[in-house]
Amino acid sequence: MSPLSTARARPGRIWARFLLRRLLGLGAVLVVLVTATFLILQLVPGDPARAAISVDASPEEVAAMRHSLGLDRPLAEQFASYVGGLLTGDLGTSFQTGEAVSRIIATRLPFTAQLAVFSVLVALLIAVPAGVVVAVACRGGRRRPLDTAFTTTASVVGCTPEYIAGTLLVLLFAVTLGWLPAAGAATPASLLLPVAAIALSPAAALARIVRRETAVVLEEDYLRTARAKRLGGWALYARHTLPNLLTSTLTMGGLLLAGLMGGTVIVESVFAWPGLGSRVVQAILVRDFPVIQGIVLVIGLMAAVINLLVDVCLGVLDPRTLTGKTEEASSS
């Protein structure tokens, strides 16, 4: 094979190895998720069979229910049956309602996904401009009061739990001002308060990261050269600064989205939002183990897939990340 054809084939091999590593990692995560969700039924205190019927049930009724649920079989057989059901798309049946868990998830997942996606978009739309503007305004140690105020505010907001933010937002905009609905998902306006409650803390944390990364980029030699050529503000910051923030911003955005898929539980409960979070809280209260297993498995799998997609996007934007040698490449 000629050197030219080898050079052309090399990116394909790099991508193949990269995707193979990521898919193997995703497979390992899936194995851990399946095992962990199966063990929920075994390790959580209480008898699932009694939870499925009544606390007043007789021992004979509980034994019959355990046999019906397959809980009297050896653990290995139970695990094999559980995995076999997953492979066929069978996530079990709710103890309380008798409804298929897959149907419950299919009904609730769009609400949680909608909440998570809009929250990430709002967080990015707030954090990126705010971080860049403050970094540019405070470049070279200027406007220290602004920098201090920004850092302090971002720290306080970033440490505020979602349920506290949600409660304050409801008190202000729903109870006091009456501008927005306090709960439910009946109208598009119902989305505003829960999205704000979820997005505020990540936006503050991401804004601090963007501010720090922008400050580093602004001190790079190529930007000093661009400023020496008296490039306008738009060309300088939009064309030369923002592209260099994409990698870190995309990484954090992906992590935020993956985290928010599982972090909407409390907010959904505060706002009575009909998503997976509020449903899994209900399932925990009544020990509806199949619903708990199914929702935890789906949320964990979605978080892993999102991380995989973020890694692929990073590989497209910065091919150095494909081999994990970004530092070496940048220093050579």
Three-class secondary structure assignment of 47-107? CHHHHHCCCCCCHHHHHHHHHHHCCCCCHHHHHHHHHHHHHCCCCCECCCCCCEHHHHHHH
Dist CA 29 CA 23 (whole Å): 10
How many angstroms from the chain centroid is the CA of residue 112? Answer: 11
| Residue range of the domain that includes 133 | 101-331
Structural domain includes residue 303? yes
Find, among 300, 267, 16, 12, the residue nearest to 164 by Cα. Answer: 267
Structural domain includes residue 206? yes
pLDDT < 50 stretches in the chain:
1-9, 326-332
188 in Cβ contact with 115 (< 8 Å): no
Structural domain includes residue 11? no
Structural domain includes residue 23? no
- The number of beta carbons lying within 10 Å of the beta carbon of residue 236 is 17
DSSP bridge pairs for 100: 93
In this structure, what CATH number is given to the domain that contains residue 237?
1.10.3720.10
Structural domain includes residue 84? no
Structural domain includes residue 142? yes
Structural domain includes residue 20? no
Structural domain includes residue 107? yes
Q: What is the pLDDT of residues 261-300, one digit of tens each?
A: 656 777 888 888 888 888 888 888 777 888 888 888 888 8
Dist CA 280 CA 314 (whole Å): 33
User: What is the pLDDT, as a whole number, of residue 205?
Assistant: 85
Tokens of 171: 């008190």
Residue 258 burial (10 A CB sphere; 0-12, 13-18, 19+): buried
Q: What is the pLDDT of residues 67-108, one digit of tens each?
A: 777 777 888 888 888 888 888 888 888 877 888 999 999 998
Total domains in the chain come to 1
Residue 260 burial (10 A CB sphere; 0-12, 13-18, 19+): buried
